[in-house]
Amino acid sequence: MQQRIPPGFIQDLLARADIVEVVGQHVELKKTGSNYKGLCPFHGEKTPSFTVSASKQFYHCFGCGAHGTAIGFLMEHAGMGFVDAVKELAARYGMTVPEPDLDPQQLRQLQQQRSLHATLVDVLQTADAFYQHRLRHSDRAKNYLITRGLQGAIAKRFGLGYAPDDWQPLAGAFANYQADALVQSGLVVARDTAGDTLDPQAESFASAQRRYDRLRDRITFPIRNQRGEVIGFGGRIIDQGEPKYLNSPETAVFHKGEELYGLFEARTAISRVGYALVVEGYMDVVALAQFGVENAVATLGTACTAQQLQKLFRHTGQVVFSFDGDAAGRRAARRAMEQALPLLSDSRVVKFLFLPAEHDPDSYVRERGAEAFEREVARAQPLSEFLFASLFDGVAMATAEGRAQAIHEAAPLFSQITAPALLGQLIADFARQLGMPATELREVLRLSAPVRKPTTPAASFGGQAGNPQRRGRSGREALRAFAVVPKDPLRQLLPLLLAQPSLWWDISPAQHGLLSHEPGPLQPLALALESILENQPDLSAAALWEELRAAGHSPEEVLAQSPDPLELDEAVARQDLQAILLRLERSALLRRQDELVAHGLVADADRAEYRSLAIRLKEIDHAQRG
């Protein structure tokens, strides 16, 4: 059950929290005027473009466009979920997140979940300390790591340990080896009288007749969540045997399809270097880190899932998969590509690195060094190239039948891509290789034609920071250009309200009516914003963003196409808001005049209305010229 944060608490929390203090714990900030600046933690840069506003309580990066509140910073930088970020921030400022408005049964269920989570994490961390202690006292285990080239410092950093070669070594770490929590955490295997293994998430373990440690005679790798808590283990056998790696089972705190080994340790490096490297084994992650490649993570014995990719994309816009170059590695890369396609945006990049057949990342970095490995990463194959290579593999493209087969294979893949620019480029490239018009290929693939958007200044704001010529534009000039475009008024108007919520009260009831009926994909966000501000008229911008995010909306996507919210002058924003509203009203008046003309202007009332509309249109035109 997902906890719901009661209304009003977010506003109180953000009013008490100091975003400069929160961000300053992770970024070195220097005061420049009324704001603070530092190197952006979300992309690699040498010149500070990351700005934090103490007065407005949010941050903005001119380099990559990242922006948000103190809660948003914890979510993006630490990879926390919304509720966890709220709890983390509340704890820093001595606030207790109130219980949600639940019925008694739901409240009991929520409290049981919290209690179980705390118990299992405590048990797992006790086991982690035990395994690390046993590693320090096992020459055999230490010699194995030495032969693999690992140093003590890197083993300590990742918390490597050793599970002794015995049936119940954890009995030496816990006073009650029969405790249900040992089974529920996945540390201990319980079997019934028939010899069947009991599910760690079973309601009862009364039928358990035999118990023994899951990990025995293995190097242990603690798996941590985004808060750094141990939620499971991977175990690597020391001698020959199967399975080579053994992971914790699914438990109440560990879901292997959602977690990534090493992400907690790699998150800072991922932000610094600008990409995450996904490898296949624990030892790859640890060995790469020892050689300075600290941005690697590993899947947990399964193909990469959509949930894991979503978690990575919260830390970076670029993911590089490293697979063996053999047939199995290519199949794994194909599965990873299929998971990535629906998650791609025009700002997200996925690549595939195929090392020489005799190497995995561990062996490659040991033999050739970190620089050579990073050169291989730089040559990684973009998803587009790998996609076409997969489609054309074994297909006779010189024949009509072969080309038709490639199109047939491509259809379900292309249909998953929602990034418009990327999809357009892929279709254009595919059409060239097939020797057919792109429009015809779209029809064959049954993909709708792209919606042609007008070229407007608004389309350039998201990429403004990357263009030095645009970066010099004043906030006023940008907003002027932003306001005079008559198309898609919600996309132009909402960023102003998100940055200056007080402007909401400058909108007249008649203008509210126009906005509520304005069609488009942003209408749900506009209606949600109206509902929130009507109920909480004094809401700050930071609190408004979090209220919208909690309601399932993405204000940051709208702000990404707006002028810099930290540079938004309230007086200028008010003028531009009125300019947009006047254009919206003008458009509505013209539509109404057209309706009256279509009906012939027969009735006196219709002619009188037409004249009144014409008078109002002249007033609007005069105001716009002014």
Q: Which helix (H) or strand (E) holds 544?
A: helix 541-550
Work out the pLDDT band at 34, boundaries 50, 70, 90. confident
Residue where one domain finishes, among candidates 369, 388, 407:
388
The DSSP string of 86-135 is HHHHHHHTT--PPPPS--HHHHHHHHHHHHHHHHHHHHHHHHHHHHHHHH
Query: Does 210 share its domain with 348?
Result: no
Q: Which helix (H) or strand (E) holds 438?
A: helix 438-445
- In terms of average pLDDT, the best of 53-62, 420-429, 502-511 is 420-429
Higher pLDDT, 620 or 288: 288
Ranking 163-167, 454-458, 547-551, 588-592 by mean pLDDT, the lowest is 454-458
Residues 360-389 pLDDT 10s: 899 999 999 999 999 999 999 999 999 999
Establish if 44 belongs to a structural domain.
yes
SS3 call for 230: strand
d(CA 224, CA 248): 12
Residue where one domain finishes, among candidates 388, 403, 421:
388
CATH number of the domain that residue 421 is part of: 1.20.50
d(CA 491, CA 476): 18
Ranking 383-387, 490-494, 542-546 by mean pLDDT, the lowest is 490-494
Q: Which helix (H) or strand (E) holds 221?
A: strand 218-224
Residue at token pair 């204000």: 555
Query: Does 590 share its domain with 489?
Result: yes
**Does 476 have pLDDT greater than 60?**
no
Establish if 404 belongs to a structural domain.
yes
Number of domains observed in the structure of the chain: 5
Query: Does 438 share its domain with 464?
Result: no
Phi (first) and psi of residue 448, to 5 degrees: -70, 150
* Among the listed residues 264, 255, 280, 253, the one whose alpha carbon sits nearest the alpha carbon of residue 224: 264
Work out the pLDDT band at 479, boundaries 50, 70, 90. very low
Query: Does 424 share its domain with 517?
Result: no
Query: Does 174 share its domain with 76?
Result: no
Query: Does 130 share its domain with 211?
Result: yes
Residue 199 DSSP code: P
Establish if 523 belongs to a structural domain.
yes
The mean pLDDT value for 492-497 works out to 82
Q: How far apart are the first and last CA of the chain?
A: 56
**Does 473 have pLDDT greater than 50?**
no
Query: Does 303 share its domain with 406?
Result: no
d(CA 513, CA 55): 32
The mean pLDDT value for 455-473 works out to 34
Confidence (pLDDT) at 622: 78
Confidence (pLDDT) at 100: 66
The mean pLDDT value for 206-215 works out to 95
Establish if 588 belongs to a structural domain.
yes
Work out the pLDDT band at 608, boundaries 50, 70, 90. confident
Query: Does 72 share its domain with 184?
Result: no
CATH number of the domain that residue 140 is part of: 3.90.980.10
Work out the pLDDT band at 487, boundaries 50, 70, 90. low
Establish if 3 belongs to a structural domain.
no
For residue 306, give its domain range: 263-388
Query: Does 422 share its domain with 503?
Result: no
Establish if 208 belongs to a structural domain.
yes
Q: Which helix (H) or strand (E) holds 222?
A: strand 218-224
Distance of CA 593 to the CA centre of its chain: 47
Query: Does 130 share its domain with 227?
Result: yes
Residues 72-120 pLDDT 10s: 888 877 777 788 888 888 888 888 888 766 678 877 887 888 899 999 9
Query: Does 496 share its domain with 597?
Result: yes
Establish if 552 belongs to a structural domain.
yes
Establish if 2 belongs to a structural domain.
no
Higher pLDDT, 276 or 61: 276
CATH number of the domain that residue 13 is part of: 3.90.580.10
Query: Does 605 share its domain with 462?
Result: yes
- Mean pLDDT for the chain overall: 84
Phi (first) and psi of residue 17, to 5 degrees: -70, 150
Instruction: Look up residue 520 and give its amino acid.
Output: G
Distance of CA 95 to the CA centre of its chain: 27
**Does 142 have pLDDT greater than 70?**
yes
Work out the pLDDT band at 143, boundaries 50, 70, 90. very high
Contact 89, 197 (CB under 8 A): no
